[in-house]
Structure 1
Amino acid sequence: MELTDVLYEKDNGIAKITINRPNIYNAFRAQTVKELISCFRDAWDDNRIGAVILTGAGEKAFCTGGDQKEKGDNGYGSSGGLGNGIGLEVEALHHVIRAIPKPVIAAVNGYAIGGGHVLHVVCDLTIAAENAIFGQSGPKVGSYDAGFGSAYLSRIVGEKKAREIWYLCEQYSAQEAKEMGLVNKIVPQGDLMAVAEEWAGKILEKSPTALKMLKYSFNADSANIEGISQLSMGSLAMFYRTEESAEGKNAFVEKRPVDFKKFRK
């Protein structure tokens, strides 16, 4: 696949996948998600690759989720038919990150918000730059992830904290994220990729079969969430067709305060 939204390189057993839309804080559109899936599948098929690093271009953002300017009445993309009806194959992307039999390290540089926050959550490990910011935005823009973005998040940080993250849509520093178990390590911005590559190098020294079976064992405990995610994405496709969801997107694009009060009458 010809890549337009993603950078992909392989070197010394490490695959590095970079979301390359820095001008819009690495928000993804349908094409971006397709390219990410393609790169992960290539890394999966390449027996020389033992670890994958996922990051975002520039210093401002890892990923800020779906590009709201690409979102229409039926979801993202022209038809909205992909991805269980939302026009984004995010469910397939989450699946390939979890299923690839190689550890995936999220190198978070700047904002990891909304769907971008979910991406780092489903990765095996997260290394954050000191300037990293974490949080959810779905209920602010008429969206949600009731699968891995919430159910699996609660496995990591606990239900009370996960509800706080989703209900309030506040933002958290790298240190706060580490304290709640969302981040493994915090490093200076300039050292982020070097440390991610160092960790990937340590992984390469380990038995690939042992790592594969350990990853599958870790995944087994939360495998049921994949079914929940399918239900979530199906319901999200219907929700995107409502005036309530449109209000969130329109307020974001028009840079005005959102008004959800009218939907509580």
Structure 2
Amino acid sequence: MSDIVVERRGEVEWIRLNRPERMNAYDADMAEALIHAVNEAADAGVIVLTGEGRAFCAGGYLADLSDPDPAALRKMFYGSLQVYDALRMSPRPVIAAVNGSAAGGGNELVVACDMAIAAESATFGQTGVRVGSAPVLGGSNFLAMSVGEKRAKEIAFMCRRYPAGEALEMGLVNAVVPDDRLEEEVTRWADELLRMSPRYLEIAKINSNVWWNQCRDNYLSGLGMLVQAIGSADMIEGATAFMEKRAPRFEGRARKDST
């Protein structure tokens, strides 16, 4: 099975995450394949990113956190930033067609795309601090540009799930449509973009990255902290609890000396 399925529909490149058995969660190899697909789509007019099955993307593959290989995790963490950078630096507009759950790094994937159209059944939210990680690549910083600082902190800290309608109200997506109309609506938006000047769309897109670029040092700082925390008790407990579908029992909080 290919991790990434690419389909050219006229001048629109559809890139589909294709690991439905794990809700399209990505590992380092899948991240590399996605970067390659985005870069190869530079000759398209519009890029659409979507998922196979019932999920858009569940972020990084959490099984790797419960028994961490530091070198492999480092590669995945920094590979995630390279994925988001590829989306941001592509000369073509990128539309997220959110067909289902966008969780953790999958929610940050939506944040990194230029625009997002969601199916009514789609849900959004971060998972990091619940599973032994933190959303340092958009969820704890750049997301505030879309939804405001207080709401962004709520999303990053509380790890709640937000239905598509609420995501639209807070500014996380551009439109919400019935599930069976998602591809039709995304195609309509793509066709409208195709009527624009590709040269000046590229200028407008790259110039719009001003706040993303301002945050980039913060992304690297956050990644450095995540790498230093690989193998921590909270990481292992959070990921293990997630895989075992139980509440985590974190011990990372400082406790007052009882003496």
Q: Same fold (TM over 0.5)?
A: yes
Contact 1:143 1:240 in 2 (8 A): no
Match 2:59 to one of 49, 60, 65: 65
Partner SS for 2:47:
strand
* Structure 2 Cα separation of the partners of residues 171 and 243 of structure 1: 25
Pick from 214, 218, 232: which aligns with 2:208?
218
1:22 to 20, 31, 37: 20
The counterpart of 1:51, out of the listed 46, 51, 55, is: 46
Partner in structure 1 of residue 99 of structure 2: 109
Deviations 1:129-150 (A, max 9, x none): 0101011110000111223222
> Is the 2:46–2:193 Cα contact (8 Å) retained in structure 1?
yes
Matched, 1:237 2:237: no
Three-state SS of the structure 1 residue aligned to 2:134 is coil
- Asked if structure 2 preserves the Cα contact closer than 8 Å seen for 1:127 and 1:186, the reply is yes
Contact 1:145 1:233 in 2 (8 A): no
Residue 110 of structure 2 corresponds to 120
Shift of 1:74: 3.5
Structure 2 distance, partners of 1:10, 1:80, is 32
Q: Distance in 2 between matches of 1:239 and 1:249?
A: 13
After superposition, residues 1-265 of structure 1 pair within 5 angstroms as 4-44=2-42, 46=43, 49-58=44-53, 60-71=54-65, 72-75=67-70, 79-83=72-76, 86=77, 89-261=79-251, 263-265=253-255
**Does the CA contact (< 8 Å) of 1:117 and 1:135 recur in 2?**
yes
Listed one character per residue, the Cα deviations across residues 81-138 of structure 1 (whole Å, up to 9, x for unaligned) are: 425xx4x500100101001011100000110010000001110101000101011110
User: What is the identity, as a one-letter code, of the residue corresponding to 1:16?
Assistant: W
* CA RMSD of superposed structures (Å): 1.6
Secondary structure at the aligned position of 1:222 is classed as helix
Contact 1:244 1:263 in 2 (8 A): no
Write out the 4+ residue segments of structure 1 that deviate beyond 4 Å after TM superposition: none
Aligned residues: 254
How far, CA to CA, are the matches of 1:207 and 1:264 in structure 2?
Answer: 56
Counterpart amino acid of residue 237 in structure 1: V
- SS of residue paired to 1:127: strand
Give, in whole Å, the separation in 1 of the partners of 2:23 and 2:188.
26
Q: CA deviation at 1:167?
A: 1.1
Shift of 1:262: 5.4
User: Gaps (5+ residues) in structure 2?
Assistant: none
Q: 1: distance between equivalents of 2:74 and 2:130? A: 24
1:240–1:16 CA distance, 2 compared to 1 (3 A): same
The AA in structure 1 aligned to 2:146 is I
CA distance in 2, matches of 1:199, 1:159: 29
Long gaps (5+) in structure 1:
none
What is the TM-score of this pair, normalised by structure 2?
Answer: 0.93
> What's the CA shift for 1:230?
1.3
Deviating more after overlay: 27-36 vs 177-186: 27-36
